[in-house]
Amino acid sequence: MLDLKKQIDVFIITNGRSTFPYCKKSVDNQKNVMFKTSIIENKEWIKAHLDIVGSCQSKFFLRVDDDMFLNPYAISFFGECIKNQDDNIALRGCKLWEPWSNKMCRGIKIYNLDIVKKVGFRIDLLGKIDKPFAEDCEARGYNIKYSGDVVAIHACGKIEEHLKYWEMRGENKGIDFNKKREWATNLIKKCDLSLEQQYDLSGEFLLNLNKKNKTSFWDFINK
């Protein structure tokens, strides 16, 4: 059993969407690893992140949105990734599979707490927090690392829930939000997969996707 209690704290941010129980289940059902999980409920995006920074007791924190359904080996893989990584890496991100748009997307991310405390979080005009954080980190000489490993499903419930979550994140104040809302509405309403079916995709389907793409995650699971 891999003990990551001093290495990674996991934070799930939620506003009560129907996806949350499945997200929590996917975190609770992680295999061969121990870590601390905290739930941040009904808080503005920047406030949620400030709470994470203030309460994290490990060297890294993994931020999980409540519509992310993790593969059972996702967190142990993150533990492997950070084990020997350079202290200069501020953020490491992996990909998600989005069944309602039928594509991979960014992403689930793990952050170096010390660097986050030095750089801080801010929200840009698009309501984004990770992009300005990456820009600020790189301006100060820190590195951002993304990989092609697909470790979770980016699920969808009702479009109304999705939009309320984006509002919590502040994205409704962003440029071209109406176009994004229309795009998501059209796709999510066409998605005929139940939440249970989307949850099931986090297992064998994700493994086969990583096998096809010859990812490090696939190598990790099969070592």
* Residue 189 neighbours by CB under 8 Å, 6+ apart: 159
Q: What is the pLDDT of residue 5?
A: 84
The span from the first CA to the last CA of the chain, in angstroms, equals 16
Strand pairing of 2-3 and 36-41? unpaired
Q: What is the pTM of this model?
A: 0.91
223 residues of the chain, pLDDT tens digit each: 778 888 999 999 999 999 999 999 999 999 989 999 999 999 988 999 999 999 999 999 999 999 999 999 999 999 999 988 889 999 999 999 999 888 999 889 999 999 999 999 998 877 788 999 999 999 999 999 999 999 999 998 888 887 777 777 767 676 677 777 777 777 777 888 899 999 999 999 999 999 999 999 999 999 8
Q: What is the pLDDT of residue 172?
A: 67
* Cα–Cα dist 190/125, whole Å: 29
Q: What is the pLDDT of residue 77?
A: 96
Q: What is the pLDDT of residue 160?
A: 80
Q: What is the pLDDT of residue 1?
A: 75
124 phi and psi angles, rounded to 5 deg: -90, -175
Q: What is the pLDDT of residue 163?
A: 75
Domains of the chain with CATH codes: 2-221 (3.90.550.10)
For residue 65, give both structure tokens: 């949105």
Q: How far does CA 120 lie from the centroid of its chain? A: 18
Residue matched to tokens 């975190």: 27
* Cα–Cα dist 163/127, whole Å: 13
Contact 104/98 with Cβ under 8 angstroms? yes
